[in-house]
Amino acid sequence: MNQSIFKAYDIRGIYPTDIDEDLAYKIAQAYCKLFQPKKIALGKDVRLSGPSLFSAMVKGFTNHGVDVVDVGTITTDMLYFVSSAYDFDGGISITASHNPREYNGMKLMKRAGRPVSGETGIQEIKDIVLSNYSFKADIQGTVSQKNIQAEYLAKCLSLVDAKNIKPMKVVVNGMFGPVIQNIKKLNLPLKLVELNSVPDGSFPKGSPDPLLPENRTETIEVIKKSEVAFGGAWDGDGDRFFLFDENGRFIPGYFLTAFLGKYFAQKKSGTKIIYDPRLTWATEDAVRQAEGEPLVNRVGHSFIKERMRAEDAVFAGENSGHFYFKDFYYADNGLLPFLLILEIISKSGERVSELFNPYFEKYFIIDETNFNLGSQDKIDNTIKKIEEYYKDGKIEKIDGVSVEYDSWRANIRSSNTQPLLRLNIEAKTKDLLEKKFKEISALIKD
């Protein structure tokens, strides 16, 4: 067994070499031994290996005496909904998120929608699987079906002022995942220009990840020729949202975090907003201007959710396109940012470009840049080297190393999901940004 599939936030690997039906069965059995559930919600994304892995997990649960509720093909935020809003002992979605088509995996939840992370159960599940644990109950569990789409959509709509959303035309790119099927059932006065809207687990245009620059091109081109209010794109499991203005300009998740952080902070003084340390200035400035309290936290959905609950934070955003809401069970939701932009521009009458121009004019950033250094030791040594090189700056170690000066800052961290070193930089001017990018890149490659 390839033990590296048991990751910081989920289980993920190539099908069928890393993850197959036998392993899916064993993971279900291990989940039962660890958490002792009586009833579990089980769903899947659109990947072609999903149905057979699903059947294997069903067998693993029912053989252990656990009742399975089949919630069908879902977005990952529908898993968060069903495992939080209903009386389940946990939930699992068979998904590999935005990874290429040959991957599959599982996102696991405990009771009340609490995520199972590497630190809260995934490593224990790995150990149980390695022990060849197997159990067959005298009384088998049952299998039933439940369609949760209508209730999930009603919950999302209840969190915005849906009745005041005005008629408008928008581009929506589903990246062949299930999300457009949800948008079409919202009963909002929208004219949709649909891209890649029919679910297709072969992902014919490559990895279902709208953050990749090559995957933005189609959305941008269609917006430019369609005269729309804005565009939205979602990853393969629908839990990350990406915004494009009416001119086709991509709005970084960083700026959307700052914008929505300010939106929620304005509602009540002292509101806590959580953000990640990759890029920070825009969010800190926007939230403080609105008399909110910005709180930085390490990257990763399980870490963000735990901190949100501890701080009673109203909203959190990650630069990767994950947006979290207290009113959605402290979970991330890919549909709510889309609905909030619809509501905000309906009420303000402003164009999306006008809302975000101030961020582009003040904060200069690079796209997150990845360096494949070959080994974790080399990654760790490189991070130490950069910390030493910039030791006269302000150093933070919340996630990797952040170095900060008056006119620029950078974050260098190891990926939680791949053997990569990730670099983010922001600066007060474009020239300084380019200079520091060259400087730090040279240090990394040296």
| CATH number of the domain where residue 390 is located | 3.30.310.50
Of the residues 90, 123, 147, which one is the last residue of a structural domain? Answer: 147
CA dihedral over 200, 201, 205, 207, signed as positive or negative: positive
In this prediction, residue 419 carries a pLDDT of: 78
The amino acid occupying position 326 is K
In this prediction, residue 418 carries a pLDDT of: 74
Residue 271, pLDDT > 80, answer: yes
- Compute CA distances 322 → 23, 75, 173, 378, whole Å: 29, 13, 17, 29
The answer on 414 and 397 residing in a single domain is yes
Angle (CA) 382-387-393 rounded to 5° is 150
The answer on 185 and 238 residing in a single domain is yes
The answer on 353 and 254 residing in a single domain is yes
DSSP-based three-state secondary structure for 65:
coil
Residue 302, pLDDT > 90, answer: no
* Strands (E) located in 326-378: 331-332, 364-365, 369-371
Quick one: 166 exposed, middle or buried, by C-beta within 10 A (0-12, 13-18, 19+)? middle
CATH of the domain at 142: 3.40.120.10
pLDDT (mean) for 322-331: 98
The answer on 407 and 332 residing in a single domain is no
The answer on 241 and 178 residing in a single domain is yes
The answer on 187 and 264 residing in a single domain is yes
**Which distant-in-sequence residues (6+ apart) come within 8 Å of 401 by Cβ?**
383, 386, 387, 395, 411, 412, 413
Give the total number of structural domains in the chain: 3
The answer on 304 and 163 residing in a single domain is yes
Whether cis (ω within 30° of 0) applies to the bond prior to 337 is no
**Owning domain of residue 40:** 3-147
Q: Please check whether residue 352 is in contact with residue 229, taking contact to mean a CB–CB distance below 8 angstroms.
A: yes
Place of tokens 């380019």: 434
Catalytic residue among 84, 97, 207, 320: 97
- pLDDT digits over 4-29, tens only? 999 988 999 999 999 999 999 999 99
pLDDT (mean) for 388-411: 98
The answer on 141 and 78 residing in a single domain is yes
Q: pTM higher than 0.85, yes or no?
A: yes
Q: Please check whether residue 76 is in contact with residue 95, taking contact to mean a CB–CB distance below 8 angstroms.
A: yes
In this prediction, residue 236 carries a pLDDT of: 97
Q: Please check whether residue 321 is in contact with residue 235, taking contact to mean a CB–CB distance below 8 angstroms.
A: yes
The answer on 82 and 216 residing in a single domain is no
**Which distant-in-sequence residues (6+ apart) come within 8 Å of 127 by Cβ?**
none
Which neighbouring-strand residues pair with 103? 14
The amino acid occupying position 164 is N
The answer on 167 and 136 residing in a single domain is no
Alpha carbon distance 303, 49 (integer Å): 29
The answer on 190 and 137 residing in a single domain is no
Average predicted confidence (pLDDT) for the chain: 97
Which neighbouring-strand residues pair with 331? 325
Residue 409, pLDDT > 90, answer: yes
- pLDDT digits over 71-95, tens only? 999 999 999 999 999 999 999 999 9
Of the residues 362, 389, 404, which one is the last residue of a structural domain? Answer: 362
Q: Helices marked H in 139-212 — which ranges? A: 149-158, 179-183
Nearest to 79 by CA among 381, 307, 299, 328: 328
Residue 339, pLDDT > 80, answer: yes
pLDDT (mean) for 314-319: 98
Annotation says 97 is catalytic: yes
pLDDT (mean) for 419-438: 97
In this prediction, residue 408 carries a pLDDT of: 99
Of the residues 313, 342, 362, which one is the last residue of a structural domain? Answer: 362
- pLDDT digits over 112-122, tens only? 999 999 999 99
The answer on 381 and 247 residing in a single domain is no
User: Any idea which of 35-49, 134-148, 210-224, 410-424 has the lowest mean pLDDT?
Assistant: 410-424
Alpha carbon distance 364, 285 (integer Å): 14
Residue 31, pLDDT > 90, answer: yes
Beta pairing class for 230-234 and 168-173 = parallel
